[in-house]
Structure 1
Amino acid sequence: MLRRSQVPWLVTALGLALVVPAVGADASVQPRVAAPAAPGQVVTVPGWKLQTSKTATQTGATLSSPTYDDSSWTSVPARSTVMGGLISAGKYGDLNYSTNLKNVNKSDFTVPWWYRETFSANPAAGAHTFLRLTNGIIGGSEIWLNGTKIGTTDTGSYPSHEFDVTGTLKSGTNALAIKASPADPKKQLSISWVDWTQLPPDNNMGIWRDVQLAESGAVTVRNTRVVTSVAGDLKSADLTIKAEVTNNTNASVTTAVAGTVDSTPFSQNVTLSANQTKTVSIAQHLTDPRVWWPYEMGDQPLYHLALNASVDGKVSDSAATDFGVRDVKSALKDGAMSFTVNGKPFLVRGGGWSSDLFLRYDPRKLADQLDYVKDLGLNTIRLEGKEENDEMYALADKLGIMMMPGWECCSYWQSYGSWKAADHTVAGASAVTEGLRLRNHPSILGFYIGSDTAPPAAVEKDYLDGLKVSDWQAPIISSAAKASSPVTGASGNKMDGPYWWIPPNYWYGDKLGGAFGFASEVGPGPDIPDADALKQYLSPSELSDLWQNGSKAQYHLSPSGDFSKLGSFLTALGKRYGTPKSLDDFVSKAQLTNYEVNRAQFESFGRNQSKSSKPATGVIYWMLNNPWPTLFWHLYDYSMQPAGSYFGAKAGLRPLHVQYSYDDRSVALVNTGLAAKSGLSVQTTIFNADGTVKSDTTQSNVTAKADGSTTLNKVATPSGLSATYFVRLLLKDGSGNVVDRNVYWLSTKADTMNYDNSTWFDTPQTGYADLSGLQNLGAGKVDVNASTTTSGDRSTTSVKLTNSGSKVAFFLRATIRKGASGGELAPITWSDDYVTIWPGESVTLSADYRTADLGGAQPNVQVAGVNVASKTVSASPR
């Protein structure tokens, strides 16, 4: 994985380093970073000094003077929106807690802010230095170097910019100053959070991506990319290596463009007239290529391309990129978008991504979140705007997770009728930048050029022309909704809801968001974190309202009135499970609710992928994560503490999985692998709430078809069932070992819905399952044995749970605690959690985590269940 410290950094592999002022020197006039010192080198600005224009009232010429004293300015990281930088510098308190974010003074961000950095340079004769902005400055900007205005950027967030600063650069100390203008997502192709969260007071104005200095000789190399064509049998592949080479001089020059794909060399001579740019195109052929696959289907080998341009035998510029050899295609299947990867059907089961609310870059949290994606069993991430940094795509390449980036909804991005000519220019440039940035990543599954609507013809042309510059190969999708655009055609997507609470059996229906077709963003709305996380973010009064006042708006829900109150979720929870008696009781019942409905969402799409009519081709859970602590739309909350939402989804996404169908009571086997699994058996046991076995059957000699679902016998309906009852499914291999285990709590009374009164986000519930019997299970007893092993910087804790009582031990939750009375450890990956076991039955769970996250404490395991009192045992390392 590409884990990296948050300490400001440079490309040290190229021999570049920070320039540290001498002790006692005036830091204001000392360079803080060295410019590149040889052709082909790139330096990333490692950090900035930040100041509001209310205080820094001088002109850009003055502020970019190397002698200007910025010692009173605020030091911020390299990628820092204005608020992101101020937060990192400790200028605010805990903006995650209660309504503290509301108290930030928005007027501070109605004026420009200045970013400043100094650097040393010693440019060689004939060298050319370029200032590169890898993406736009949000809100637009002026750029000044050594007292000279070298350019401006438009208001677009995405277009990259490059300025030749050779004539402005000085030997010795240089100063760069960038004036960032206020951002307005209602009038600019900027960043918007719509109804996802409370909004950042600065609208994310400022620098959010890297600013770089690059040096070359007479010829530069840009936009290095590889076009791949893979044979149908995967036994060969043709590559076309492409790049733009530019002559930076006023005289004709011949450059030798040479390099390697892994160890295979290539070269081509190119003659350029004065200031000319040409596209170099070099063909390569691979026999028996190392083919890249999504992780469920195979391995993730990457090739490395190194390329340089030389003049008179000396390297003038160089470039390098990793790429993968794979084939991705999309087509309409019964009107629904469907994908194949390397010729094999690919059922998309993913989540909607959110960046940090202040666009802060945290490499460790990024890596932890992608670990969660893979641990969950998700295979795809959809990004609606906020396309994330390059590191995320590199991680996805290595982990085998597919990515679906695209533009966002409901802001100026979809106010097509208000666009001016400049907006069309920004839109096209955005597509160029993102196409060139993303196209080499084998993890890219497709690109959405529209979200809630398809773009009109003129806008579609902007995007298609822009993506064409990068030789874009992945599918281009007109919209995440059921829509069509003139060239791209029908989207094959649906986004008919739900976005709010619905019961598990909803997913098995044949209407709206049910498990058919490609659902680009659907989910059951509220996802309540566990108690530890809730108490980090909510005040005592907010915690009280959470379970007692469903009609009151919660600040940690959405600013949109549609999603600001728990409302129908709290009503359904009370009617199905019994009215909450306390905060702890509410949290326990919320975990049950989130677990069962999330499991059903993924199980239903998994089962229906093999239907002959109206098959399920993909589903994106709305959403995967949150930009800021919220109580809805996530599979794991902002604290990274996995709860019922997480483990319900994880259960439904297991690679070889036995599951119950809420519509026809059938049992299904879902296999995500490319090979069939034979010699299996499925044991189905039905229990009354008191533990009485009502039915116990085994279906033997079962085969799970490859990359699909297999329907088996139906679950019996024996007489004398209690109103609330259990079904346990055990999938066993030929030796009788349990491969998969799944427990359902069901009701003889069905949940019912009023589809006729559905809205775009909700389907009202009219009848409720009776699961109140779970409140009267009797006291369960569980023995807990735990031990920990440590290897390198990781620890693994094994937890054996044994039901030593006479009652079912229902919905047991194990957590690792920091010491006997410490807080919950997160992030952490568990083999399973929230498990149910019957008398005499045992289950062993394992948890993996960073040892350092214990903070020096000894690991303890806390176990509690719906009817099992909490207990804590030591899990000290062996």
Structure 2
Amino acid sequence: MAALALALAVPDAVALPTDRPGRPAGTPQAPLTVAADPGTAATVPDWRLQSSARAPQTGADISTPGYSDAGWRTVPARSTVLAGLVAAGAYPDLTRGDNLKQVDPTDFTVPWWYRKVFTADPRPGAHTSLRLDGGVISRGEVWLNGTLVAGPDRVVGAYPTHEFDVTALLRPGANALAIRAAAADPKQDLLIHFIDWSQLPPDRNQGLFRDVRFTTSGPVSLRFPRATADLPLPALDTAKVTFEVEARNNTDAPVTTLVTGGIGHTAHSRTVTLAARATTTVTFTEDVTRPRVWWPFQMGDQPLYTASFTATVDTRDSDRATTRFGIREVSSSLVDGGRQFHVNGEPFLVRGGGWASDLFLRTDVRRIEDQLKLVRSMGMNTLRLEGKPENDELYDLADRLGIMLLTGWECCSKWEDYASFDAEDKRVAGASAESEARRVRNHPSMLGFLIGSDAAPGAELERIYLDALARAHWNLPIVSSAKAVASPQLGAPGMKMEGPYWWVPPTYWYTKRLGGAFGFASEVGPGPTIPELDELRKFLTPRDIAKLTDHNAVQYHLAPSPTFNKLSFWGAALDNRYGRPATPEQLVRKAQLANYEINRAQLEAFGRNSSDPAKPATGVIYWMLNDAWPTLYWHLYDYHLATAGSYFGAKTALRPLHVQYSYDDRSLVVVNTGLAEVGGLRVRATVFHLDGTVKADDTHPVTARANGSTRAGALPTPGGLSTTYFVRLLLQDGQGRVLDRNVYWLSTKPDTLDYAKSTWYHTPQSAYADLKGLDRLPTGLVAVRTASTDGETRVELTNTGRSVAFFVRATVRKGAGGPEVLPTDWSDNYVTLWPGETVTLTARYRSSDLGGASPAVEVFGHNVPRVVR
């Protein structure tokens, strides 16, 4: 078939204004090539960017090839205005200190222009479309060669996708594309808002954050390929796969096309006659015997299939389309009021985290992959994307890694100001739901869609969303909101949003009140999460660090919200439980203890109660997983992907076969996330006085039930314990091999909660556990042996002293005294050893991240001097 060939003419380099010394004075635009083969797409690789305050001309002028964009900045594809300016070196490091305040927000109260010049060689019979894979924030004008393709009445909102036939507008030789992005206001338009997740981007994410592409085909185009499978439960021995694609006639005359599709060796075909400009869905089915079933990673493997389609007109290929999918079943129901998800017929306990996109909506695929690998290594099985649906790469990675995804709209912005919705808002809301559902529906990692977050929409808007999802053939669970308020059509969501969002002690999670471990808690967490000192120095000034010991001081790297801009309750608990830190170094060290114990308790409590016959726990979303921008709260690993006490507390709780202690009734529990029962196990529980003296040592036989929790006796209660004491739990097999190890530091004085004074974000304490004895531990001695190969370092730690070596951390450094290698995936960390014990840790990282240095290991503990090997 004839197809369009596009290639960019690279303009002469022009000087770019810059505030960063050493940046090249001229950066030419990258070439754009659109292949002549059908079914191909060419993504605009970069743009020229300028404010309309400096480029006051109309789109008719700016979208002509001869327009001079000298003085404009070259910015990457998928660049919001501020992301583009950051990439072009317009500002200092906006993650450090309060540099973000240096960005003038009035610069973004006017529209900004994106511009691209390219060459084209239109060929007879070819059809070219311009595709916007997402909307323009807040709304856009699209111009090509001096002609308005679509105005702000059509291109509005962050998520609706658009496709425009631009065949008639292309010219041989030079062409120009221009897109005008209006100023953004999350209170007025259906955009993206970071609420209280961090300080806010001054441009409010104005501009483009997804791809703009040219696509080529013959007279018939194929769009929106889809594949779904019906599995017989519980056998899973056959699958009926339905795969379909939309065929569109691009011409003004009827066209007959042969559409062929397949998911393996068998090809299916159908001849379809399309009226002028008509679209129809072509559907095939195939029975698959012994299907390779896709599972979340803790339950099985993640095999993927490909559905491929070709449209042929007059024996010539007109277009092609493919999609990847997995054979699996997802459903949900209410169990004692809690939303219970099932995957392939098995109950699926959601223990996940809230995902934060980059504050400037930049897509760094390697960074996303690094994060998802940390998530999987941690044992976390689900991400909740609240109003931050990512670009396609995240979904592809989640499919490969077996991490489930809950998507939906955000709270606290225009999205939930339902009373303000006018006709355009309703149209955009429906188009957003339909576009997002079409984009992600094939991914086996998808678990469901939340059409509300903190509030469910009313009957009319709910129907708009449901109709939009139906048009997209969405067949996964739909939930009205993440809050326990029934909606007109969907009924009870089976989710609760009772907090907390700020500090609570470990015992909180074990009481079946508010955010405790029962039902499905859609967003709960203990608030402040202080990184290690090396990390703090990357984004805090020395003055900022010194201020950390003042719990009543406003911290810029907390939230813009006055509810969450001070360490407050967290600091008071740290002082009362661990002893008031005199220096930032002491605060950081004790913060790791607090973060470890509370995160472990939260996720362990939901794991234990998943098998509770009365008010079982069905899911929990830790608030939050990661940082949009460097912060001191709401994350399990920090902005630079460093893992500290918060991460390893969660990782301990989420081990696939895990022994744990219960803060409420002192029960010992084994949690098994696998689908097979594990017998012949025993739990050994040892209670230690602070000085290391053994006060009790019990062993309990246990068979770990499949995909659930099993009680295995109770922790003994010996007399004469020190106020602060230790517990070590070992899960052993029949040969005595240790399958899991878990160490607690506890107090004979309990934490007590004052529920009567609870708020939506916090339950205060009326009494505190006393863990101050940890500061009186004698100095511990640890022998360190290391061995490094390509991208892996093994660290053997042996307690050679006479006292406990408490909370020992290892890091891999770029040479002795160098910075930490990040990201690093540790098998475990922050470990505690009694005299004579040995623990081996494994670290995996990219060798290239060493920067040519040899790996060095640094070991340091709560009472263990620093050792470098």
What TM-score results when the alignment is normalised by the length of structure 2?
A: 0.97
Q: Structure 2: how far apart are the matches of 1:753 and 1:203?
A: 39
Which residue of the partner structure matches residue 75 of structure 1?
Answer: 74
Structure 2 CA distance for partners of 1:612 and 1:16, relative to 1, 3 Å? farther
Q: What residue identity is the alignment partner of 2:191?
A: S
1:869 maps to what in 2? Answer: 865
User: Aligned pair 1:354/2:356, yes or no?
Assistant: yes
Q: Is the 8 A contact 2:79 2:361 kept in 1?
A: yes
Distance 1:685 1:723, change over 3 A: same
Structure 2: which amino acid aligns with 1:381?
L
Counterpart secondary structure, 2:680: strand
Contact persistence 2:29–2:47 (CA under 8 A): no
* 1:451 counterpart residue number: 453
Structure 2 CA distance for partners of 1:81 and 1:119, relative to 1, 3 Å = same
Write out per-residue CA displacement over residues 161-219 of structure 1, whole angstroms, 9 at most, x where no aligned residue. 11110110112221101111101100000011111110000000000000000111111
Superposed, 1:540-551 pairs within 5 Å as 540-547=542-549, 549-551=550-552
CA distance in 2, matches of 1:588, 1:698: 33
SS of alignment partner, residue 515 of structure 2: coil
SS in 2 for 1:562: coil
Instruction: Please list every run of 5 or more consecutive structure 1 residues that lacks an aligned counterpart in the other structure.
Output: 1-13, 874-878
Q: Report what 1:441 is aligned to.
A: 443
Shift of 1:498: 0.5
Alignment of 1:220-369 (within 5 A): 220-232=221-233, 233-369=235-371
CA distance in 2, matches of 1:23, 1:480: 53
The residue type equivalent to 2:288 in the other structure is: L
Deviations 1:418-466 (A, max 9, x none): 0100000000000110110010000000110010011111111111111
Aligned partners of 2:7 and 2:119 also within 8 Å:
no
- Matches of 1:255 and 1:135 in 2, distance apart? 29
Q: Per-residue displacement from partner, 1:206-257 (whole Å, max 9, x unpaired)?
A: 0000000011111111111123211122111112222221212222111101
Partner deviation per Cα, 1:70-91 (whole Å, 9 max, x = no partner): 2421111111000001101111
C-alpha contact 1:35 1:121 (8 A) present in aligned 2: no
**Structure 2 residue 847 is the aligned partner of structure 1 residue 851:** yes
The amino acid that maps onto 1:622 is W
**Helix, strand or coil for the counterpart of 1:861?**
strand
2:18 paired residue number:
none
Following superposition, the deviation at residue 284 of structure 1 comes to 1.9
Trace 1:552-701 onto structure 2 (pairs within 5 A): 552-700=553-701
**Corresponding residue number in structure 2 for 1:54:** 53
Post-superposition offset of 1:30: 9.5
Cα distance in 2 for partners of 1:708, 1:38 equals: 52
1:823 aligns with 2:825: no
What is the rounded CA distance, in whole Å, between the counterparts of 2:386 and 2:684 in structure 1?
Answer: 42
Would the alpha carbon gap of residues 252 and 675 (structure 1) be closer, same or farther in structure 2, given more than 3 Å must change?
Answer: same
Distance 2:863 2:291 in 1: 56
* Distance apart, 1:403 and its partner CA: 0.3
Do the aligned partners of residues 22 and 755 (structure 1) sit closer, same or farther apart at CA in structure 2, a change above 3 Å counting? closer
Contact 1:688–1:721 (Cα < 8 Å) also in 2: yes
Match of 1:95 in 2: 94
CA shift, 1:571, in A, is 0.7
Deviations 1:766-795 (A, max 9, x none): 1000101101011111111111011xxxx1
Deviation of the 1:754 alpha carbon: 0.4
Distance across 2 between alignment mates of 1:393 and 1:803: 44
Deviates more, 1:835-844 or 1:71-80: 71-80
1:737 Cα deviation from its structure 2 partner: 1.1
What residue number does 1:213 align with? Answer: 214
1:772 is the counterpart of 2:772: yes
Q: Hey, what's the Cα distance between the residues in 1 that align with 2:640 and 2:709?
A: 35
Secondary structure in 2 matching 1:167: helix
After superposition, the C-alpha distances for 1:499-557 in whole angstroms (9 at most, x for unaligned) are 0000001000110011000000000011111111111111122111111x111110000
TM-aligned CA distance change 1:154 to 1:17, over 3 Å: closer
Alpha-carbon spacing, 1:139–1:537, altered in 2? closer, same or farther (3 Å): same
1:278 CA drift (Å): 1.4
Maintained 8 Å contact 2:122/2:172 = yes
- The answer to whether the 8 A contact 2:30-2:45 is kept is no
1:717 deviation in Å? Answer: 0.7
Q: Distance in 2 between matches of 1:127 and 1:236?
A: 42
Deviation for aligned residue 1:23: 8.7
Q: Which residue of 1 aligns with 2:108?
A: 109
Q: CA deviation at 1:858?
A: 1.2
CA contact (8 A) 1:481 1:493 kept: yes
> What's the counterpart of residue 414 of structure 1?
416
Matches within 5 A, 1:90-239: 90-152=89-151, 153-232=154-233, 233-239=235-241
Deviation at 1:16, TM superposition (A): 8.4
Equivalent in the alignment of 1:478: 480
Q: Aligned partners of 2:853 and 2:787: how far apart in 1? A: 15
| Kept in 2: contact 1:809–1:865 (CA 8 A) | yes
The residue identity in structure 1 corresponding to 2:719 is S
Q: CA deviation at 1:31?
A: 8.9
Cα distance in structure 1, aligned partners of 2:51 and 2:223? 35
One-letter code of the match for 1:287?
T
Counterpart pick for 2:537 among 535, 538, 542: 535
Contact map agreement 2:8 2:33 (CA 8 A) in 1: yes
CA RMSD, 1 decimal: 1.7
What is the aligned length? Answer: 854
What is the rounded CA distance, in whole Å, between the counterparts of 1:410 and 1:24 in structure 2?
44
Superposed, 1:367-386 pairs within 5 Å as 367-386=369-388
**Residues 32 and 117 in structure 1, CA contact (< 8 A), matched pair in contact too:** no
Residues 689-709 of structure 1, C-alpha deviations (whole Å, 9 max, x = no match): 011110112223x21111000
Q: What is the DSSP-based 3-state SS (H/G/I as helix, E as strand, rest coil) of the residue aligned with 1:868?
A: coil
The answer to whether the 8 Å contact 1:372/1:829 transfers is: yes
The answer to whether the 8 Å contact 1:784/1:800 transfers is: yes
Contact 1:32 1:118 in 2 (8 A): no
Q: TM-score, normalised by structure 1?
A: 0.96
Percent identical residues? 56
Q: CA deviation at 1:35?
A: 3.4
2:537, 2:684 → 1: CA distance?
41
Superposed CA deviations along residues 701-752 of structure 1, whole A, max 9, x for unmatched, are x211110000011111111100000000011112111110000000000000
The separation in 2 between residues aligned to 1:107 and 1:291, in whole angstroms, is 53
The amino acid that maps onto 1:523 is G
Q: Which residue of 2 aligns with 1:800?
A: 796
Task: Give the counterpart of 1:500 among 499, 502, 514.
Answer: 502
TM-superposed deviation, 1:127: 1.2
Aligned to 1:3: none
Match of 2:21 in 1: none
> What corresponds to 1:523 in structure 2?
525
User: What secondary structure, in the 3-state scheme, does the structure 2 residue paired with 1:489 have?
Assistant: coil
Matched, 1:755 2:793: no
| Secondary structure, counterpart of 2:167 in structure 1 | coil
Q: CA deviation digits over 1:302-353, x for unaligned, max 9?
A: 1101101111111111111001110000000001100110011110000000
Measured in 2, the distance between the counterparts of 1:269 and 1:746 equals 72
**Aligned equivalents of 2:742, 2:439: Cα separation in 1:** 42
**Aligned in 2, Cα 1:721/1:399: closer, same or farther, shift over 3 Å?**
same
CA offsets per residue over residues 843-862 of structure 1, 9 Å max, x none? 11010000111111111111
Contact 2:821 2:850 in 1 (8 A): yes
Q: Secondary structure at the match of 1:445?
A: strand
Gapped regions of structure 2 (runs ≥ 5): 16-25
Pair 333,31 (structure 1): closer, same or farther in 2 beyond 3 Å: closer
* Structure 1 segments of 4+ aligned residues over 3 angstroms from their partners: 14-32
In the alignment, which residue of structure 2 is the partner of 1:4? Answer: none
